[in-house]
Structures are given as C-alpha cells and as structure tokens.
Amino acid sequence: MLKKILVANRGEIAIRVMRACRELGIDTVGVYSDADQDALFAKYADESYLIGEGPPHKSYLNMDKIIAVAKATGCDGIHPGYGFLAENAKFATAVRDAGIEFIGPSADSIEKMGDKIIARSLMQQAGVPVVPGSTSEVTELAEAQRIVAKIGYPVIIKAAGGGGGIGMRVVREDSELEAALEITRNMAGSAFGNPSIFIEKYLEHPRHIEIQILADKQGHTVFLGERECSIQRRHQKLIEESPSPVVTPELRQTMGDVAVKASRAIDYYNAGTIEFIFSEGKFYFLEMNTRVQVEHPITEMVTDIDIVKEQIRIASGLPLDFAQEDIRMNGWAIECRINAEDPLNNFAPMAGKLRGYRSPGGIGVRVDSGVHAQYAIPPFYDSMISKLVVHGRDRNEAIERMKRALFEYIIVGVTTNIPFHKAVMKDPMFVRGELSTHYIEEQKHLSEEMRRVIEETKSLQEKLTGIFKDDRKAAAVTAAVTAYLSSLAAVED
C-alpha cells in the first residue's frame, strides 16, 4: 500500500481524498495557492506547501513544482482529484518518471479518451454504440455537409479536446453550418489548445446516464451501477441521482456490460466513468472521464464502496477484493451541487465571504465541502460550496430527506442556488422522474417557485431568530439571520 500521498488539488475533493488516506493510515501532503492560504484542505493535510499564486497556471497546473514537492516530502503517490491535472497524460507520465505512482489510469488511456474523436473510433471498433456522426476530424465544409446529409439536422459540433460543456454548438439548418464550424474550431483552439472538431447527431430530449467502473491492474473490471445526471445548466451537472429512475435491472446489466467492454478495449485501470446519452430507450457513448467524478458520492452511498480508497488500493497494485456479483445497489442517493451562484439570474457565479454557515446533518445526510464560516470564495476557481448528498431507502425518502437537508442548510453572505434545489425537489416532473438535459430551460415555473421558496424561507428564519433570542449566542445568531434575511431580500429585488 502507498504510504504518503500528495493531493494535487484543492477544495472539497482535496479533503475527500485526504479523508480516504486518513482512514487507510496514509500520510498526506497538500499543495495550495496563495488564494487558498486559509482554505480548510491546506490545514487538513499532515503537511502543506504553498506552490504559487492564485491563477491555476501559476499553482495547481504547475507540474514541475507539484512533482518537486512530492519528491522533497518523500511521497510515493500523487492523487490528482478532478479537473486541473487529472486528465493530463503528460502529468501522469512525469509523475511516474519521477518514481511516484500516479493514482489514475495509464497515460495511454488518458490520451486515448482525452481526444473525443479517437475515443469515438476506438469505441466503435470495440462494438460500443456511439452517437451517429463523424468518424474523423472535420476540416472542410463539404465534409460536414456530407455527414449532415447522412444523419440529418439538428447536429452538434464539438471540440475533440473539449470538456466542461464548453464550446459545443447546435446547428439546425444549412445556413448556420459554415459559421458554426468556424466558431467552434476557433473556440477549440483557444480554450483547449486543439482546434480539431467533429459532428454528432443532436438528440432532442436525451437523458445523461453514466456508468462508474473500477478496474485493477490484474485485469478485473466491475461496474458500480449508474448515475442519472440530466439536470444541467450550460451542459454542466447540478443534480445527480443513483440509480436512475428509467434504468431497469436488465438495462443496468446491458449498460454495465458495455461500459466494462469499453474500459477493457483500452486496458483501463483505476476508477473511470463512461458517459452515455440516453434517448428513446437507446444509449450511446458520449465520452469517458478517466478520473474520479464530482458526483461519485452517490454511487458510494448506494453501493457502500469507497471509490477513492479503491483508487488508492488499485494504484498500490492490489487486486479488487470483490467481484461483480458482490456489488449490490441499496436504496437511492441524490446529490445537489451547492454553488455560489444566482439561479434567478441565469446561474451567474457569485464571489463573496460566508459570514454565517451551518451545514445540515442527521440520518442519511453527507456534506462534502471545503468551506467554513468566514471562508472567502476565491475568484480563480469554480464556485462550488459543497456537495449535499442524501441516501434513503427509496427515491421518495431520498427526495424528502433532501428537502429536509436543504431546509437545514444556512449560508449567510453569498447568494447560492439552494432555492433552485428546493424548487426542483418539489417539482412534480422531478418527483415523477421525468427528466431530460433540457429540464431547467423547459421548467419555466421554477423561477416562480424559487421566489416562493425564498419567501417561505424568510418566515422560517424569523422563527429561528425567535428561538435563539435568549441564548448567550443570540447576538451573533441574530446578526447572522438578519444578514441572511437581507441577502434573501436582495435576491428578490
């Protein structure tokens, strides 16, 4: 087993990895930027080191610096988390060349899956269904027109090196095609350093369903069920659940078998996720994420398998100590990403300081977070405050538990998307499990509901003020609640 791990990441995922290390008796080294001097993860690590300034390229993307710290502190493993260097084949190679284990797959797997055009063609060869579209890079308009003639409008133009839902363009008619190719190519070149683009059929009302896999270096691969991640804004996930309301045991087995086949086709090891787009009973390969996913906790809740510990065990060369038939899905888990963003203003990211903070708890509630009261959200990184995860015996219990947990969540000082999550949990379409990736834009009444929810929350907060009135901490609590109320009033304006 590895003995000392450097976590090349920040925020909640850095803490998530360090928690696994703590339970396994592994020492941890944190690295942080000067914007994260006061961040919890930097204190949680056994040792931590400042590696540069706030902008990611000056710190969390500085491979040489990170590897130098790992060597100097005697680490035998580096965990990249998600984002930053997690899917960087060059980094994986450099880490291993330095005699340190990269906790993830081979550089070759990262490279193959990092290019969506290569991934599509490898998957096709392996017999995995892919969305109809181009088989290689599209460079000419005439070529694009040939593909469109075959698959029909609408189509979506994507960057081979794309990620984070950025830069994709839907095209519905001929007159838009040439400009869309040009714009996507330019965007791909500047955002991802790779101008290659390709074309896929655009599915109108799909669901996003993904399969978690684990594979050891001895050739055993298992799947840990699915996650439904259809509730997205700007092609980025906001709410995920496991299992999916539409996946039957038979479909789960079929999708799982395909995911295992996809992983084996590239000799994959460690944790990975095969993302599928699901439409009218059929599923198609979208991409493979060669790292731990933000939403991995919901799978942990229903399978009782600690995915990060398994990543570390696999990287240490240990075989999986369970087989596919040992994996049982138990109950239902939902994750709400709690972000500092304004759901009533097109989910615009908000910066600011958490002047008051109380996270929910109780049975079946898990909060993965890297924040604390008085924490200032730095402008350089994503605006996620926490991942609120609940587990219940069935979907109804999970929804009721999420409502209860959201009710308990108090964040003072910054605008969050909590009212959005509260509105969704009450929405009849969501409750019926009728989801698609267009859920948010189509549920126009959600804004109305959010305003109502904010109004309701106000009176609950007023009651809270009353309860705390005679307490010694009354002054502080009252101040926090008053500030909370005025922040709600501000949102309303």
Q: Residue numbers of the site for ligand ADP (CB under 6 A)?
A: 131, 156, 162-166, 200-203, 206, 208, 232, 235, 275, 277, 286-287, 437
Which C-beta is closer to ligand ADP: that of 304 or that of 442?
442
Tell me the C-alpha distance between 360 and 488, whole Å: 19
CB of 366 to ligand ADP, least distance (A): 24
Residue type, 20: A
Closest to ligand ADP by CB, 226 or 310:
226
Cβ–Cβ under 8 Å, residues 222 and 176: no
Please say if 452 is a catalytic residue.
Answer: no
How far apart are alpha carbons 58 and 48 in whole angstroms?
A: 17
User: 429 in the Ramachandran plot: left (φ > 0), alpha (ψ -120 to 50) or beta?
Assistant: alpha
Nearer to ligand ADP, 232 or 244 (CB): 232
296/313 with CB nearer ligand ADP = 296
CB nearer to ligand ADP: pick between 105 and 162: 162
Q: Which is nearer to ligand ADP, 226 or 287 (CB)?
A: 287
Q: How far is the CB of 236 from ligand ADP (least distance, A)?
A: 7
Query: Least distance in Å: CB of 170 to ligand ADP?
Result: 8
The strand pairing partners of 32, in sequence order, are 50
Residue 364, phi then psi, degrees to nearest 5: 70, 15
Least distance in Å: CB of 162 to ligand ADP? Answer: 5
- Taking each helix axis from N to C terminus, what angle separates 107-114 and 116-125, rounded to the nearest 10 degrees? 100
Q: Rounded to the nearest whole angstrom, what is the least distance from the CB of residue 335 to ligand ADP in the complex?
A: 16
Query: Shortest Cβ distance from residue 125 to ligand ADP (Å)?
Result: 19
Among 169, 291, 337, 366, the active-site one is 291
Length of the chain as a residue count: 493
Q: In terms of CB distance, is 149 or 490 closer to ligand ADP?
A: 149
Nearer to ligand ADP, 120 or 313 (CB): 120
Closest separation between CB of residue 24 and ligand ADP, Å? 31
- 31 or 144, CB closer to ligand ADP? 144
| Least CB distance to ligand ADP at residue 163 (A) | 4
Whether the CB-CB separation of 422 and 403 falls below 8 Å is answered with yes
Q: Tell me the residue number closest to ligand ADP, measured at CB.
A: 437
- HEC string of the chain equals CCCEEEECCCHHHHHHHHHHHHHHCCEEEEEEEHHHCCCHHHHHCCEEEEEECCCHHHCCCCHHHHHHHHHHCCCCEEECCCCCCCCCHHHHHHHHHCCCEECCCCHHHHHHHHCHHHHHHHHHHCCCCECCECCCCCCCHHHHHHHHHHHCCCEEEEECCCCCCCCCEEECCHHHHHHHHHHHHHHHHHHHCCCCEEEEECCCCCEEEEEEEEECCCCCEEEEEEEEEEEEECCEEEEEEECCCCCCHHHHHHHHHHHHHHHHHCCCCEEEEEEEEEECCEEEEEEEECCCCCCHHHHHHHHCCCHHHHHHHHHCCCCCCCCHHHCCCCCEEEEEEEECEEHHHCCEECCEECCEEECCCCCCEEEEECCCCCCEECCCCCCEEEEEEEEECCHHHHHHHHHHHHHHCEEECCCCCHHHHHHHHHCHHHHCCCCCCCHHHHCCHHHHHHHHHHHHHHHHHHHHHHHHCCCCCHHHHHHHHHHHHHHHHHHHC
**Residue 228 beta carbon to ligand ADP: minimum distance, rounded to whole angstroms:** 11
Give the active site residues.
Answer: 291
